Amino acid sequence: MDKFETLTGIAAPMPLINIDTDMIIPKQFLKTIKRSGLGVNLFDEMRYDDDGKEIPDFVLNKPQYRDAEILVAGDNFGCGSSREHAPWAIKDFGIRCVIAPSFADIFFNNCFKNGILPIALPQEQVDVLMKDAEKGANARMTIDLEAQTVTSSDGEVFSFDVDPFKKHCLMNGLDDIGLTMEKAASIDSYEAKASQSRPWV
């Protein structure tokens, strides 16, 4: 998993509430168990028409937001089913941070496990960042995980809370497998002792 320390990038505004996981990645794309390749279908039903052509008015299809790395969204982001494909699709598109007033719990936790930083801020602060994101590609926000701050393109700074353990994992690029591998020496030692004391196993 990629480390997350600081990020300065384009923020795409998506002022919709209750964006659920089926909107993020529709069910027909859940057949894969790969974490890559889903970005092209992120927000598929809002992004493409029935003929598979891009809908020009959708935010991520606009030239200024095609390289967005931050998403500023409405309340209750990631609600619905608990599909982990949702953060996979977001990450594969290139988005590393989602800012919203609130998140669905399972989606929120899945983000951290997949290298995405979800930031919950009060509605009035999200409104400021939403307006900043609407400026387009020339307005870049900075996310500093160590300092736990979001800085708008105008230099306005907002602080956010993050669980210390989740912060440690993101900053060190540790998913569940990575956390286990940190204990590799202890695991190897245990296995060696176990094979000596129980050779029949």
Two structure tokens written together for 198: 């129980």
Structure tokens at 172: 């060190």
Q: pLDDT, tens digit, for every residue of 144-172?
A: 999 999 999 999 999 999 999 999 999 99
Position 16 pLDDT exceeds 80:
yes
| pLDDT at 181 (0 to 100) | 58
Third-level CATH fold of 6-197: Aconitase; domain 4 (3.20.19)
| Per-position b or e across 34-55, b if 16+ CB within 10 A of its CB | ebeebeebbbbebebeeeeeee
pLDDT at 192: 63
pLDDT at position 176 is 67
Question: Distance between CA atoms of 100 and 189, rounded to whole angstroms?
Answer: 45
- Please write the tens of the pLDDT for every residue from 66-110: 999 999 999 999 999 888 999 999 999 999 999 999 999 999 999
**Average pLDDT of 118-140?**
96
pLDDT, one tens digit per residue, over 28-39 is 988 877 778 899
Residue 59 three-state SS: helix
- Averaged pLDDT score across all residues of the chain: 91
> Residue 71 in contact with residue 59, Cβ under 8 Å?
no
Domain ranges of the chain: 6-197
- Whole-number Cα distances in Å, 14 to 19, 24, 29, 68, 98: 9, 12, 22, 12, 10
Pick the residue with more confidence: 122 or 138?
Answer: 122
Closest to 87 (Cα-Cα) out of 144, 185, 21: 21
Name the burial class of residue 191, with classes exposed (0-12), middle (13-18) and buried (19+) by CB atoms within 10 angstroms of its CB: exposed
Percent of the chain with pLDDT over 90: 77
Maximum distance among all Cα pairs of the chain, rounded to whole angstroms: 68
